[in-house]
Structure 1
Amino acid sequence: MSPVRVLGMMSGTSHDGIDLAVVEFSVVADGDRLRARVGEHRTVPYSDGLRADLVAALPPARTDLAAVCALDVRIGQEFAAAAASVTDAFDLVCSHGQTVFHWVDGGAVRGTLQLGQPAWIAEATGAPVVSDLRTADVAAGGQGAPLVPVLDRLLLASFVEQGRTAAALNLGGIANVTVCAPGRPPRAWDTGPANALLDAAAGGIDRDGRLAAAGTVRSDVLADLLAEPYYAQGPPKTTGKELFHPGYLDRFAGVPREDLLATLVELTVRTVADALDGVDVVVASGGGVRNPVLMAGLRFRLPGLVVSDELGCPADAKEAVAFALLGFAAAHGLAGNVPSCTGARGGRVLGRLTPGRWAVPTVPGVSAWPAGLDLSPAR
């Protein structure tokens, strides 16, 4: 069967650039397994001006509709330029865009807003574009997040078949987990901050952990941080920079920066490890896997930790791969959400379509999710 090549694009809660990955999907003859080959993948940084204006508009700052409109256009244009720079061929684009607000009221998600007008991508590439992937889940009573379990449940299936409980851990601006156990539906939720508060405390990016390694964990500060009510909520739950924004740390202004960073690393280690207590295998991805201090703490608490590269999925591109898979799902009318993870009333086809200069591609005969995934990098 002819493969479908999908360009997955997204910018996460670190809002430092656009992660992209081209994934070629095909289905084996009996339709039982999906084959995915990861081709070109990289991160395209936002321009300095756009990133500065984006940060200035995010909560708790106040903004206006003129700024929102301008950001929607400018983010869309930078996504379009990134897509046009891809050298691997693709048939379809799935763009998450940039989340700028996740409206949570009383623990329920009322709405979610991603910017990055997809018409610019369609115009620049000619490809049809799937976007606005979270809203259908919210309308069905879900959290609109996390959406990566659609990939995680396939990625972890071999461990579950062995009778093991496995988890996928993404260390982006926010840390999120998907837990798959034999005989149980998958569960997923945001555990709390990962890079979001670390970047804020560092005054930039400390992904190599150098500053945190020079500090000492402050037990008083850690106790204050762990008192955050979010951690006591049960899943499904989601959070973001609406809660864990730079101003969240203002009360620790007198704490030396290195000590605050060391304490924030321990906060992420503690909240992730508590969430994954009893899990046999943890597959980690996201920018946080490049922080050796954070990873050392997690490996101490979670001895079954591996990095997703070992399963054929590049750690820096895993979410882009997941959104490529969501594009494949949308093209074939397959549910992209996992209701046991988001809390939605049922499975929903996610996204809306911006037409390009050719039709949406499909693999003939695909009418249901294959049971397994064969994932490998392109040769």
Structure 2
Amino acid sequence: MSKREGEVWRALGLMSGTSLDGIDVAVIETDGEKIYGRSHAATYPYSEAFREKLRAGLAEAATLTDRGARPGRLRMLEQYLTELHAEAISHYLTDHEIAPESIDLVGFHGQTVLHRPEARLTVQLGDGALLARLAGRPVVYDLRAADVAAGGQGAPLAPVYHRALAADIAERPVAVLNLGGVANITWIGRDGTLIAFDTGPASAMIDDWVQTKLGKPFDADGRIAAGGAVHESIVADYLRHPHFAELPPKSLDRNAFSLDAVAHLSPEDGAATLAAFTAASIAQSLSHLPEPPQLLVISGGGRRNDTMVAMIAQRTGIDIQHAEDFGIDGDGVEAEAWAFLAVRSALGLPITFPGTTGVSGPLTGGVRADPA
């Protein structure tokens, strides 16, 4: 499928990212600049058995120095992960009565298992060529690599899509806060200027905590944290991490922080303290912006943690609204972004910028794989 700039593409995005929840799928219609249509997003959860395999894979990937290497179980894990993504595409298209041949392009994120931009290293498990063959559609993947190789942070990549989404929001400056495994913020200035960076952890630490302590994959609605007390001294210790003093752009690995500091706490107190850490890190991050946003629009799975969202509102003092308040599917934003980025990549348009990743100039990226 070959289209030119200005033509509208129907693109499907796949996001698994840094969380271990599952695969988010969404379809948008775009010319790479504007959004002309969006379908409902869907999530296809990983089984708990596969989550365990991914956790083991994260540990194995921690020693990688070659981003193309797949030692031990990583090769088999990548193949199975790719097959799961192909199944997710098939289920999604069937569930939404979308003809496969109507999809012009697939944007494939893969599962991040290592992100160390300071070493010019980022690793996402996912075989784009295999997915193209299984899905029978062109696939754009490995969208972070070119930016990291050029000295950028390789994250966050969604800001250019956030700006397109926020085109009809009157408040300026406005910020989109994505609460995934890691939290990232996109600040959109009055003239459309973008500043973006990872503010700190969001759901990853809490998910790992409640899984370890209670065998639960996440803190549903923040109910566990709601029953606990925040240990502010631990929050303060976490905030001494060098990441928070660094000027943006900057990004974080999912496993940048240890749970050791909360290991002695009850499940409730640990969840509350980790939620407060997320909120405090977001509040502290606002000092890096040219001016405070008038509005925070939140997306990502963490927006369902009511306790954490209330803490963010309290610690930032900024009006918070959910993505859904603007007709945006908060679960689908990242998957939609990957569809959008795939189209921009296919058109040779920039996907990262000095204000979002620290790369020296606007840069495109991604690798295309065709089914044949």
| Alpha-carbon distance in 2 for matches of 1:148, 1:197 | 22
Change beyond 3 A, Cα 1:184–1:84: closer
Change beyond 3 A, Cα 1:124–1:200: same
Aligned partner of residue 259 in structure 2, secondary structure: helix
Q: What does 1:204-353 correspond to in 2, within 5 Å?
A: 204-244=217-257, 248-276=258-286, 278-300=292-314, 301-353=316-368
8 Å contact from structure 2 (residues 299, 331) kept in 1: yes
Amino acid at match of 2:252: T
Please name the residue that 1:133 is paired with.
143
- Give 1:124 deviation, angstroms: 2.2
Amino acid at match of 2:366: G
8 Å contact from structure 2 (residues 200, 278) kept in 1: yes
- Give 1:250 deviation, angstroms: 2.0
Aligned partner of residue 356 in structure 2, secondary structure: helix
Please name the residue that 1:191 is paired with.
199
Q: What does 1:6-45 correspond to in 2, within 5 Å?
A: 6-25=11-30, 34-45=34-45
Question: TM-score w.r.t. structure 1 length?
Answer: 0.85
Please name the residue that 2:3 is paired with.
none
Q: Does structure 1 residue 82 correspond to structure 2 residue 91?
A: no
Please name the residue that 1:369 is paired with.
none
**What are structure 2's unaligned runs of at least 5 residues?**
1-5, 65-69, 212-216
- Give 1:22 deviation, angstroms: 0.9
- Give 1:164 deviation, angstroms: 2.0
Please name the residue that 2:57 is paired with.
57
**What are structure 1's unaligned runs of at least 5 residues?**
28-32, 358-379
| Alpha-carbon distance in 2 for matches of 1:191, 1:35 | 27
- Give 1:43 deviation, angstroms: 0.8
Amino acid at match of 1:333: G
Question: TM-score w.r.t. structure 2 length?
Answer: 0.86
8 Å contact from structure 2 (residues 183, 202) kept in 1: yes
8 Å contact from structure 1 (residues 71, 116) kept in 2: no
Q: RMSD of aligned C-alpha atoms? A: 2.1
Q: Does structure 1 residue 165 correspond to structure 2 residue 173?
A: yes
Aligned partner of residue 256 in structure 2, secondary structure: coil
Report how many aligned residue pairs link the two structures. Answer: 344
The partner residue of 2:163 within 129, 134, 153 is 153
8 Å contact from structure 1 (residues 167, 276) kept in 2: no
The partner residue of 1:112 within 122, 128, 148 is 122
**Percent identical:** 40
- Residues 83-92 or 205-214, more deviating: 83-92
- Give 1:109 deviation, angstroms: 4.6
8 Å contact from structure 1 (residues 59, 242) kept in 2: no
8 Å contact from structure 1 (residues 50, 74) kept in 2: no
- Give 1:158 deviation, angstroms: 4.4
Change beyond 3 A, Cα 1:26–1:233: closer
Change beyond 3 A, Cα 1:297–1:120: same
The structure carrying a bigger strand percent of its residues is: 1
Q: What does 1:363-374 correspond to in 2, within 5 Å?
A: none
| Alpha-carbon distance in 1 for matches of 2:35, 2:356 | 24
Aligned partner of residue 177 in structure 2, secondary structure: strand
| Alpha-carbon distance in 1 for matches of 2:31, 2:344 | 12
